[in-house]
Chains A and B, each alone.
Chain A
Amino acid sequence: MKRNAIFYLMFTCIFVGLTVGLAHFAAASPDIEIQNTNVKNENKSLAAFSKVMDVVTHKRCVNCHPAGDRPRQGEDSHIHYFNVQRGADGNGLAGYTCETCHHKENNDVAGVPGAPHWALAPREMAWEGKTRVEIATQIMDPVRNGGKSAEEIKKHMTEDELVLWAWAPGVDDEGVARELPPLSKEEWIIAVKEWIDNGAEIPAK
């Protein structure tokens, strides 16, 4: 009887121990799974960040996101000819606006580029001279991005006609095609979505 009681006690301890251990393992598994997913998504976002910044730092974008009040133009990003200035609303000066020359579509006869709401990006959205990390931080900062949420930024970057003009920039006044950004438009849209949907990760440096 005594041996039976000892055997019963040992069996109970082993059973309880196994049950607790299995339960703990089962409970721990989802955590491990989530952790792995986060790592995967972060890496995906960081990989997309690099692609997005390859485009954002291209002259087709930076020329109209200048530091200061003078737009840049051309493949060498020179200061815009004709004393063009930002003006009060980013649309040029009172008597000499962007619309004096630029309209809602490219003019390949005159070599004057155009797209809907052609204008300079606001001063707080300047990219010229900034690092990729600084630009990305700025893009995702509602104080400096026009109060946009991540979803609104994604929509702007992938659907706005002026943004997408970069992939159909027309020809210059010599009839030479303007250089395109380093990604295709389709690759750009995928990269922006991957970057933002996976957390809009920005590297530490």
Chain B
Amino acid sequence: MKISFKINGAQRTVDVDGDTPLLWVIRDGLDLKGTKFGCGKAACGACTIHVNGGAVRSCAYPVKLAEGKEVTTIEGLGEGDALHPVQQAWKEEVVPQCGYCQPGFMMATAAMLDKIPNPTDEDIDNNIINVCRCATYYRMRKAIHRAAAIQSQTNIQ
């Protein structure tokens, strides 16, 4: 089955079984390895991407549903060489330990900041429910507040 969608700004068409998880099309078909497999049941959030701007667990998203939509992965979060405020904050706060789950966290955070530009700790607790086995949550909380500040400054400029 042929499915066409835009991914990180580029129009792509794939010819696969429509029930294939979008995660595997992204990683194996389109060779974008930033999105990670974690649990395969939409629980851990390592595979989080954006579909039409909203956070989606790509391991539980059949590729056929992506037809005509705009998909963004961690590779397309920033614009060109410019880091997205979330990526910048993650770098400043030295968030990752092993790093495996971090793309999913950053994509979830970017989706949240799009709706809640200045989140409270409670907003973060409620909206960012991904799992990090290195327990980098404390640094991530700092980075999320920092990302909100960077994004706010960027928007003002």
Contacts and interface: CB of A to CB of B under 8 A. Distances in A.
Interface stretch (B25-33, B59-67, B74-82, B148-156): B59-67
Contact of B126 (A85, A109, A112): A85
Interface string B82-118: 0000000000000000000000000010011111100
Interface string B35-70: 000001111000010000011110111100100000
A161 to B, nearest CB: 16
Given A81-B43, A94-B127, A99 B65 contact: no
Contacts of B116: 94-95
Interface of A: 81-83, 85, 93-97, 99-101, 103-105, 107, 109-112, 173
Contacts of A104: 65
Interface of B: 19, 21, 40-43, 48, 54-57, 59-62, 65, 108, 111-116, 123, 125-129
A94 B127 CA distance: 8
B60 A83 contact: no
Contact of B65 (A100, A103, A109, A111): A103
Given A95-B116, A96-B112, A110-B21, A101 B127 contact: no
A95 B126 CA distance: 9
A95 B56 CA distance: 10
A100 B41 CA distance: 12
Contact of B19 (A81, A100, A109, A112): A109
B41 A95 contact: no
Given A83-B129, A104-B65, A112 B115 contact: no
B143 to A, nearest CB: 15
Contacts of B115: 94-95
A83 B62 contact: no
Contacts of B123: 95
Nearest to A87: B126
A110 B42 contact: yes
Contacts of A103: 60-62, 65
A47 B110 CA distance: 53
